[in-house]
Structures are given as C-alpha cells and as structure tokens.
Chain A
Amino acid sequence: MSIMAEPSAEGRFGEFGGRFVPETLVPACQELEAAFREAWSDDSFRAELDGLLRSYAGRPSIITECHNVGADLGLRLLLKREDLNHTGSHKINNVLGQALLAGRMGKTRLVAETGAGQHGVATATAAALLGMSCKVYMGAVDVERQALNVFRMRLLGSEVEAVHSGSRTLKDAVNEAMRDWVANVSDSHYCLGSVMGPHPYPWMVREFHRVVGLEANAQCRALLDGGVPDVVTACVGGGSNAAGIFSGFVDTTARLVGVEPAGGAAVGRGVPGVVHGMRSYLMQDEYGQVQEAESISAGLDYPGVGPEHSYLSSIGRAEYPSVTDAEVIAAFQLLARREGIIPALESAHALAWVMRAAPQLRGQVVLMCLSGRGDKDVNQMMEILGG
C-alpha cells in the first residue's frame, strides 16, 4: 500500500488530521466524505473531471528542463509546469474537482478562502464555468498586496470580502470562510484551497492534485530512461502542490523536500496543535495561541500545514527546510533572467532551497513543482526591487 494512501476512518494520517469542527459542521463533513468517496469511484465523475482538466485547464502540464540554471548550479533541474494551467497555478485541479462534486451534491454556492488570490481566482473561475455563486474571503493585508487578483475575482463574478480580524491574512480568511459555512451549510460548499482542514479535505484535495504526481512520474520515466529524479521538491504553505507531486514519487527512491517560508515554518518550528479542523504542526505561543506567519508570499503566509505533511515528516519520509525572503527574491530573479520564466513567489521558495542545497546536489536530477506563475507578484517585486 502506498505511504500516501487513504487516511484512517477518523481521517488520521498517523497521529495527525482528524475532524475538529463545530457540531454544526459534522454532518456536512460526513456528507462531503460520503459524496467524495462515491464520486471518486464513479467512472463517469472521473471522466467528466478528466475532460475539464484536459479541455479547460490545459492538462497535462509539460516538463521543462532548465539547462541554464542547471549549468549554473551543477545539477539537472526539471520543472513541472503547473504555472501553465488555466488561471496560472495548480489550484485549478482541486477547484474543478470540488466544484463538480458540489454540484453533484446539489450545492449552488461556493465559499473559499484565499491568500495570494490564486485559489480564489481558481474558485471564481470554476463558479463562473459551472454557473454557481461564489464568495471569497481574503485577509485585508492580502487584498492590498494582491489587488490585481481581487479585481480578477470580481471580473469573474465573485464577491470578495476583506477580512479585518486577527492577523488579517490567510488564517483569518479561513476562519471567516468557516463561519460562513457554518451559517450557510445547507446550500453552500466550502471549497477549501489546500490539503488542510477537517477530514475529508486533506485527503480529497490531495487526490484532486494527484494528477500532478501521476503525470510527472510518467514524464520523468520517459526523460530519465525509466528512472525517477533524485529529488522532488515543492513549496509548502498548506502544502497542496507538494502533496500532489509527492504522491507520484512517495513510493520511489526519490528524496522529497517541502520548502517552507522561514516566517511560516509550521513543520520546522511548530508543535502539534489543533486549528482549522485538523491536528497538525502549528506555530503557536506558550498558551496555544496561534502565531502570525510572516512571509513575502501571501500564499504561504500560514502558521499551520496540511496534516499529511506532518505525518510524512514524523516518519522521516519527507523533509521540510525553510528559506528566507531574501533567498526567495534571488530565486525569483534567477529563473526570470536565466530561463525566461517568472515564477510565483510561492514556487520560488522551492528554487531558493535548490540554490542553497546545490553544492550537495551536484550531478543529481531535481524535479521541482513550479506551482504558479509570477504575474500576480510583479507589482510587489517592482516595489521591492525598484522599477
């Protein structure tokens, strides 16, 4: 059985996961789990989703070998190009799956949280396509630094609400989306954007992103004479793109490296805690108050992490180093200048780790998930680097 198989009946990956939600939401989580289980084993649902992924999202995404950066760093660098998907990131994989499922469950309204805006844009897109109404919660700080994505969501017909409570970033947007779900559970589906939250979300979202790992495994075997990369790496906030690509290699010899921001290193600096419906590593103070993450990247500005990543770390199957904002800025610029690819700041975290670890990776094949494109970050980088 795969290391990344189904969680236990209680939604546990080892000692992580679970379903720590208000009573109001327990029946909704149970209903969602049953609906996902049924749909995921139904060929017609899978065919409908595959059709959308191909003809709407643009899958399969290609692999690009970075010859210039590879030569600079003394290794082979392969990028899984999730940035080329419709809406510009891997998020569309999960959102199309959940939106189809929500429709199948008779829900007419999607609720979502977003950090950088990528998941919000993807959800707004799916809602437009499938004729559902959509409300996206976004921390007030993020609304400001990702103004373009806010406008994009509104163009797509979604309502965007700025969240002013707490740290006014991603974690507070999750709180507000959950409050909305509690109040509107009869007609609304909470389209959670990462491999986090209460069971079945961490499992379901990973399954919707499994396509990334499946494609990448086949593509790598074709490129590497049947072999697999030495290292598979991806950035980790909640950890959805990492879960997707790891799922394709977890049962091979590849080393798995999830890269966290130094200011939001849940696995690296957290201790087990419970928030947003799950037990997982969590940055918290001595009284269990959840700490505010601080990262240049709005999408990774999250003090927790998906429970399956906590599990993979606890059993030693994956490692979770962190990189600083300065390293991320350098990686962002390197990929732009040497490969003509502007990465999302989130994805640049993985490259920042590759750059730092390069002396130890000499001659190895490194597969990196380029989870999103950097258009949304250009304004912010212009302020940092100067026009």
Chain B
Amino acid sequence: MSTTTSFGRMETEFRAKRDAGRKLLVPYITGGLDGWQQAIRAAAAAGADAVEIGLPFSDPVMDGPVIQEASQRALDAGVNINTIFDEARQLEVDIPLAVMCYYNTIHHAGHRRFAHLLVEAGIAAAIVPDLPLEESRPWCESADSEGIETIMLAAPTAPDERLPRIAARARGFVYSVGLLGVTGERQSLAASATSLAARLKAVTDVPVLVGVGVSNAAQAREAVAVADGVIQGASVVRRLMDNGPDAVGDYVAEVRAAINV
C-alpha cells in the first residue's frame, strides 16, 4: 500500500488547510468530564480543526495537575471507554476527532479491538503518549488496518536521526512536544517549542503541531510562527472545569483569532 497517496481523514484535511494557509488548532478535552460534549461542540463552532478527547487513566504520567484532576473527576464519576465512545458517537461535529490515551487502555482492550472501537465511535486518530517508536508496531499495525491514524510524538530530547523515523511513522500530524515536562500552563513559551517544530518541519511534510506548554493565545501565535498549528490542553480543560463549556468556546475563538494571520 502506498503511504503517500492514501492519507486518512485527519491528515487529508490538515494538509489541505495548511496548504491553503490556515494554522491548525486542536483543543484537548477530557472525555466524560462534566459538559465535555457541549465543550467539543462549542470548540468546533469556534474554529477548532479537530478535537483531542482524553481517555481518563489512573496513572497519567505525561500529565500535570490540571489534566490529572480532570481525569480523576471523570473516573470518580464512573466513566469508561464504553460510555465515552457512546457519547462521542452523538457529537455530530464536522471536524475529525482523536483520542489521547495511555497505552494500557489499548493493551487491555486488545489492539485490533480497540482500533475497531474507535472506528465505531467515529474517531479518526489516536495519540498514545507512553508508546514510543520502538514499542509502537503492534498498535500501529492494528490501527493502520482499521484506518485509524496514529499521531506520533517527538520530544526536544530526540537526536536528529530520530526525527525522520518518527515522522515516517506519523499519520494525521506529528505532535511536537513543546518542552521538557508534562502538560500544564506555563508563563512563557519554551524556546524548545519553536526549535523542535523547526527541526521537524525540516525533515517532514506531515503537518507539525506543537503541544504541551502552549498556554494561551499569545503563546499559540508565537508557536505557529514556525509550526503548522497548536494543541491546547490544560488551558482548555481548566476553563471547562472552572467556567463550563461556553468558556471553552470563547477561548477557542480567542486563540483562533490570534493564529489567523
């Protein structure tokens, strides 16, 4: 199968939008959190190009305090992948959806079965932050065969030779990790956010989006000076927990305006 001519839904849309000059915006919302469906609809209406749905996990090692708390709240409310996928099916938004989930969720369900569950839920892509390139094959093969796009992460610590290999395995987009650290809001955008995005852009044609530590509209604007887009996690989830779904829509609109040039 040729990999250059058969992009999945997310990558097809992202490439077309990028090539038309649009910067891409992907908010992250914890699945099952109070108001999460309305928040996704609000984000879609306010100019998000896709939404990343976090599947709550007991041991989220890549997440800082805000997303940890959101995960714990959702778990305490009794959500699981069945309830989240059922609710995801009812979203009816016209942008592609991805899940962000820790690998044990997939491993426990079974690779092929999990990929199939995503297809049934109308989800296009998956981000698995604790599944590095060397361990990714069993999942990626199942995902490929079900048409699920696996978004690979690249970190500032990666040596140059590693980046093309990560990009070659990435579907949808490459997730350029903005800093050394876990998800959460920071005072300023780390220098590594733009430098890694630039290194990735130099080796791949796959869209490059910066996430982790992109904390507000101004930082998003700074990041897209180099990157094709941004992922907004803790800043979105905090607004959903503190102020509800409408605040998510307002915030996404604000970031959208800031990155439209």
Contact = CB atoms under 8 A, between A and B. Distances in A.
A22 B159 contact: no
A183 B63 CA distance: 11
Nearest to A290: B58
A21 B132 contact: yes
Contacts of A290: 58-59, 104
A170 to B, nearest CB: 12
Given A183-B182, A287-B108, A289-B58, A22 B134 contact: no
A186 interface: yes
A276 B104 CA distance: 10
Contact of B80 (A184, A272, A276, A287): A287
Interface in A13-43: 18-28
Interface in B18-57: 57
B95 interface: no
Interface string A161-183: 00001100001100100110011
B146 interface: no
A289 B75 contact: yes
A179 B134 contact: no
B156 A21 contact: no
A contact patch SS: mixed
A284 B108 contact: yes
B104 A26 contact: no
B62 A182 contact: yes
A22 B62 CA distance: 7
Contact of A20 (B105, B135, B157): B135
Contact of B68 (A165, A183, A275): A165
Given A19-B132, A287-B80, A182 B180 contact: yes
A274 B106 CA distance: 10
Contacts of B104: 273-275, 282, 284, 288, 290
B177 interface: yes
Interface residues of A, number: 38
A225 interface: no
A179 B135 contact: no
A179 B157 contact: no
Contact of A287 (B60, B81, B131): B81
A19 B153 contact: no
B91 interface: no
Contact of B72 (A27, A165, A274): A165
Contacts of A284: 104, 108
Contacts of B218: none
Interface in B56-106: 57-62, 64, 68, 72, 75, 80-81, 103-105
26 contacts: A10-B134, A20-B103, A20-B130, A20-B135, A22-B177, A23-B132, A23-B153, A24-B177, A27-B158, A28-B157, A165-B68, A165-B72, A166-B58, A166-B72, A171-B59, A175-B61, A183-B180, A184-B180, A273-B107, A275-B59, A277-B130, A287-B105, A287-B108, A288-B104, A289-B75, A291-B58
What are the 3 A-B residue pairs with the smallest beta carbon separation, nearest first? A288-B108, A183-B181, A24-B155
Given A178-B61, A287-B105, 20 more contacts: A20-B130, A22-B61, A22-B153, A22-B155, A23-B133, A27-B157, A165-B68, A165-B72, A166-B58, A171-B59, A175-B60, A179-B64, A182-B181, A183-B180, A273-B104, A273-B107, A274-B103, A275-B59, A277-B130, A287-B109
